[in-house]
Amino acid sequence: MNGPVTRTDNRIEVVGPLGDFHRFLSQVHTAIEKKGYEEIILDLRQCTSAFQNSMLSLCAQVMAYRKGGIDFSLIPPDEKRLSNLFQNTGWAHYLDPGQFDPPAFRGHARIPATQYESPKEQQLAVNAIVKVILGAIPDLQRSDFAAFEWSVNEITDNVLVHAYSPIGGLVQVSTDRKSEKQVAFVVADAGVGIPKTLREGHPELTSDASALDRVIREGVTRDKKIGQGNGLFGSYEICSQCNGYFAIHSGHARLEFDARRGLSVSDERTPYNGTLVIATIDFSQPKLLENALRFEGRKYTPVDFIETEYEEYNGDHIRFMLSKESASFGSRVAGRPIRTKLFNLLRMGGNERIYIDCSDVALMSSSFADEAFGKLFLEAGPVSFMQKFEFVNVAGTVRQLIDKAIAQRMSAGVVD
Ligand SMILES: Nc1ncnc2c1ncn2[C@@H]1O[C@H](COP(=O)(O)OP(=O)(O)OP(=O)(O)O)[C@@H](O)[C@H]1O
Ligand SMILES: [Mg+2]
């Protein structure tokens, strides 16, 4: 549901849920393009809810306008939880960087929105996202996880290759609180849009809707010399086969897939000046995604994150550098993603042993040790645990803490 979005001179106000972004953007557009204002006030005091899809598109557009010389100031929501969300996700910063600092990355289930303008920044953003998801979704299959990583890579890459976006791209990922097996990601740019680039190779696609309808088909690309036309096709296959969600907003059109209504493409009265891709992947059915990636009839297996990040060249083991996996070793909240990650690695790996390398970790709390290792020991079972994991470079005090946590957890005998 949408609350009203109104404009009084240069002040745009939302009362109630922010909902769909089109109305908001059209007010911004009117204030700047038609009324000629150069300073815009985004008044969200009475806004009661906001979600990443709309917010990312809004942030991308505001950032592009700012780059063009327009000034924006944000009045954040009065409601405390919502204004914290604006800070923690980075939305407040992207809308009004003069007033709000960038968020601190804390590495738990919610990852801030990230801006990237170069392949290097894109890689860092994708790696951070993939790592958080490895620690957030339990019982991941390696092939399913690889499909997710492949798709985030492709969609973020498209921005750098095709969009000519003055601000690069914004990417944000979240896990669903209702269903712990769902991951939603959104990529927004303020570039030239899919219809325009695709027409370079397909001039017959005169309407924006026809361009979006074509762009998710196999092999459709603006230029065979540049790409193969796999990125959006493969991502659409992944999201639709797991009964997730997939949407593209670009120019005067939107494409949407959801499990209940299937695929639809429609015209959009208010254009989106750039491209917004929204994808939800549902990991509930194991190995479903293994076969989703097929190009020219052949199954495609991407090189995955586990291989590039954890497997050592020529090694028979995975090295898990604890100091790089968490920003803190003091709390249960920080320990839980470590357990989920290690348990996922345990189930995904072949025969490789996993070295839990504790270099540079001088101290950890007992609650962290219990949440990460005590519960992992119980969950995996002593034999699997010992066959699979080995602690290396452990400081004496840390070793004692881990020993104690495992012993206590064994005698308690339960895991949540
Ligand atoms: N963010 C974007 N901005 C503008 N155009 C885009 C964007 N993303 C995709 N496109 C257009 O959609 C086409 C298809 O994208 P897709 O990712 O499916 O294939 P590709 O990038 O051409 O090739 P591949 O992904 O196989 O390297 C692109 O060729 C381009 O014309
Ligand atoms: Mg591509």
Domain annotation for the chain: domains and CATH numbers: 1-101 (3.30.750.24), 105-309 (3.30.565.10), 311-412 (no CATH)
- Is 42 a residue whose pLDDT tops 90? yes
231 lines ligand 1 (CB under 6 A): yes
Query: Closest Cα to residue 386, out of 376, 394, 400?
Result: 376
Place of tokens 């600092």: 101
163 lines ligand 1 (CB under 6 A): yes
The answer to whether 274 and 64 are in contact (CB under 8 A) is yes
What burial class does residue 20 get, using C-beta atoms within 10 Å of its C-beta: 0-12 exposed, 13-18 middle, 19+ buried? middle
Phi and psi angles of residue 401, each rounded to the nearest 5 degrees, phi first: -65, -40
Q: How confident is the model at residue 344 (pLDDT cuts 50, 70, 90)?
A: very high
Q: Outline where 137-243 has alpha helix (H).
A: 142-158, 194-201, 208-215, 231-241
Q: Cα separation of 57 and 88, whole Å?
A: 17
- Is 314 a residue whose pLDDT tops 90? no
Span from the CA of 189 to the centroid of ligand 1 (angstroms): 13
Our mutation pick for probing the ligand 1 site, out of 116, 194, 213, 235, counting the most ligand atoms within 8 A of Cβ, is: 194
337 lines ligand 1 (CB under 6 A): no
DSSP summary character for residue 177: S
165 lines ligand 1 (CB under 6 A): no
The answer to whether 50 and 18 are in contact (CB under 8 A) is yes
The answer to whether 9 and 37 are in contact (CB under 8 A) is yes
Span from the CA of 118 to the centroid of ligand 2 (angstroms): 15
Q: Spell out which residues have Cβ within 5 A of ligand 2, the ion.
A: 158, 227, 231
pLDDT tens digit sequence for 132-142: 899 888 888 88
Q: How confident is the model at residue 413 (pLDDT cuts 50, 70, 90)?
A: confident
User: For the chain, what is the radius of gyration of the CA atoms?
Assistant: 23
Q: What is the mean pLDDT of residues 252-261?
A: 96
Place of tokens 């209940």: 260
Q: Give the global pTM.
A: 0.90
Q: How confident is the model at residue 109 (pLDDT cuts 50, 70, 90)?
A: low
The answer to whether 248 and 254 are in contact (CB under 8 A) is yes
